[in-house]
Structures are given as structure tokens and as C-alpha cells.
Amino acid sequence: MTRPDAPDRTAETSARVEDSRAPWAKRTRAAQAMGRVDPATRAVVAPLHVSTTFIRDADNGYASGFSYARPDNATVREAEAVLAMLEEAAGALLFGSGMAAATAVFQALEPGDHVVAPIVMYWGLRRWLREEAPRRRLDLDFVPADDLDALKAAMRPGRTKLVWIETPGNPLWTITDIAAAAGIAHAAGARLAVDSTAASPVHTRPLVLGADLVMHSATKILNGHSDVVAGVLAARAPDAFWARIGAIRAGGGAILGPFEAYLLMRSLRTLHLRAAAQAASAQALAERLAAHPHVARVLYPGLPDDPGHAVAARQMAGGFGFMLSIRVAGGEAAAIATAARVALWKRATSLGGVESLIEHRASVEGPDSPCPPDLLRLSTGIEDPDDLFRDLDAALRAAHAGGP
């Protein structure tokens, strides 16, 4: 509460850092949550807004801009402002999960629209597309999107309305050239949307490279503490398609809850530190594992001999992300046995948290997945990279020897 004798600092305190002396670096603005200070209390942490309803003005309007919590929420807006800043976007919208964000894009299409999606992508969205596209009369083609000739050949000018790519692509970490894919999509009259979950806004800027939409499972490194399920979309332009996505979120009630937005906001303040540390550890692990006698292949775009390295080196900055996979010499049984023998890595699904996770993906993804059966997916956290290597090395050796 503002005391009656306190000076009115509303204008000063509601100023945001970038209004005064732009441009500060993104990590600076994220660390200070855009420099926002609560006008009522001078708090440096924005209050958590939980109210579902708001007083209507005497003239029957809502001068505050808030009327009900399903379409909008002030805490959600705080986190969206940081995410829009990080993605250099015209706007950002938070959803109750990455899947809610991604599927809102496909729901915004019209029956009869043609959609191109990658073969290597988050398996849950691939399954949703396979099941839902025919019901919505969307015409769907899966292509190896890292092959630009294949992508070009899949386009149906005038009919293709959306090209969806994911880079690095889960769980093989294939790299798609975003600028080239945007050129191909736009030449055919389509939009380009990028699932940038594994890159994070720290390493890749899809909108600057020409994409129209960027999506993240904010459950992953954006939140980074494995305690929030959330998703975000950000758009290069506030056009009619973006307005339709906003209407789908508002009408369908897919907005993120305020508690989750509050936790996400807190995480975004340390995103740059976490992303840099996790990418550095992933790079070190990839290099050491590439020389391991019981690893047949390491999949990581930071390795110079990775097929996606040249493009990744061009379109990623500050590292190649926190995700890598290994193909275990000895096949599926050896891979499962390795995952069974780790002590430090956590045997669990998901990615991007501060704790490192290991998972045998083929067990999860099912028969239409391009994931080979000998693959273990590794999400690198912030633990000591030597500890992470030691634990994996011991598990690989024990699995190979068939011991405990």
C-alpha cells in the first residue's frame, strides 16, 4: 500500500529499464525482469496476481484492461514481456504447456490448408499431428527438414500455409537452416514456425533469421527447475494469424496459471547463466564421449564432424545447447543397461533442468519414430561436468562388462 504521505512515484517506478537508456543487453533486462518496480510498494519483484475477477468501473468499463483471468493475467504478462524481449518479438503468449502452445498454431489454420512438418521432431507433437490433422482436414506432409531440397520439393505454392521445423530436432539434434527454410516457406506463401526449445533464446534467434513464429516448451530450460509445465509462442508481426492464435488461447482457456508464470519469471532471470553453463558442459561431454570405447556415435551439433555443425555454427551463438544423444556400442540392450547403471544422472523424461537426465528414447517414442533403439538422450544440467562424465563412463563400462 502507498502511504498517504508518500510521494507519488507511480510514473517513475513503472518505467522499465529499456525505456530509459536502451539498449541494455538482453541478459541485463532478463536479470532485472525488465527493470520493473512495483509502483505501490517499490518492490523489485512483481507481485503475484491471483484474482480471477476485477471490479467494473462506474461507467461500466474496465479501465485497468483486466476483467477476468481466463483471457489475461498481469503476472503472465510480466513473463511474456521478458520472453518477447528475448525473442525480439512483437509479442509473446504463454500457454499451459508446450503442447498447448504448439497445437494453438495448428488450430489457427483453416480446413484444407497444407502443412509441412519435420520427421525429426518432438514425438508428442508428431503423434498429435498424425491423429488430429485428418480430423481437422489439414493436409500434412512429414519431410527431412534439414534437407532443403526435400523441404522445397514438399511445398505446394498457394496451398502450403505452414512450415513447422524444430532445430536442434529432438532426439537426434539435427539442425535445420532457419533462414533458408524461411525463404522456402515464404516463396510458397507459407509461414515458418520454429520449435526452438532445445536452442533457447540464448543460442538462437529464429525471428531475426526470418521465422514468423517461435515456440518453446517453457517446461524445459526456460523454467529450468523441473517444477513448471508451460509453453510460449512469440511472433515477428502482430498480424491476423497472431490475433487468431490469441483468440484461440483466450476462448479455449489455454493461458498459463499465475503461479507457474511467477516461477517462470523467476527462472528467466537466470536463464543466461544456466544456458551458458549447460551448453559448456554438453560440449565437454560430447567431446569426451566421442572418444569413448563403448559409444558408437555422439549426436551433438557442437562437434565439428556433426552433419549440422556448419549451419549450427552460423545460426547458434554462445554454444550449441544442453541436449545431446549417444548411440551405445552393443545396441539396444547395452543402451538400456547403461541407463540402468547410472548413479548421478536421473533416469527420467524431459529436459533442460538444472539436474541432468538420461533416457532411452525408443522405449518412449514408438514405432514411427526415427530414433534408433541404441540411443540414449542426455539432458545436461549444471552439475560438475567431470562428475557427469565419470558416472556415465562407469555405467557404460559396467553395461559392457555385464556387471552391476
Q: Which residues bind ligand PLP (CB under 6 A)?
A: 97-99, 122, 124-125, 166, 170, 195, 197-198, 217, 219, 229, 231, 350-351
From the list 124, 76, 122, the residue with the least C-alpha distance to 96 is 76
**SS3 of residue 91 by DSSP:** strand
- Burial status of residue 397 (CB atoms within 10 A of its CB: 0-12, 13-18, 19 or more): middle
Which of 216, 272 has the CB closer to ligand PLP? 216
151 touches 164 (CB < 8 A) = no
CB of 159 to ligand PLP, least distance (A): 26
324 touches 306 (CB < 8 A) = no
The residue from 29, 205, 220, 249 that is catalytic is 220
229 touches 197 (CB < 8 A) = no
The residue from 16, 70, 77, 244 that is catalytic is 70
CA diameter of the chain: 78
220 included as an active-site residue: yes
CB of 31 to ligand PLP, least distance (A): 24
Task: Give the amino acid at 280.
Answer: A
- The answer to whether the Cα torsion of 343, 325, 366, 125 is positive or negative is positive
195 included as an active-site residue: yes
State CA 266 to chain mean position distance.
17
Tell me which H or E stretch contains 377. Answer: strand 375-379
Which of 278, 391 has the CB closer to ligand PLP? 278
CB of 137 to ligand PLP, least distance (A): 24
CB of 171 to ligand PLP, least distance (A): 8
Which of 85, 233 has the CB closer to ligand PLP? 233
Which of 219, 278 has the CB closer to ligand PLP? 219
CB of 184 to ligand PLP, least distance (A): 21
Which of 75, 219 has the CB closer to ligand PLP? 219
62 included as an active-site residue: no
122 included as an active-site residue: yes
For the annotated catalytic residues, the residue numbers are 70, 122, 195, 220
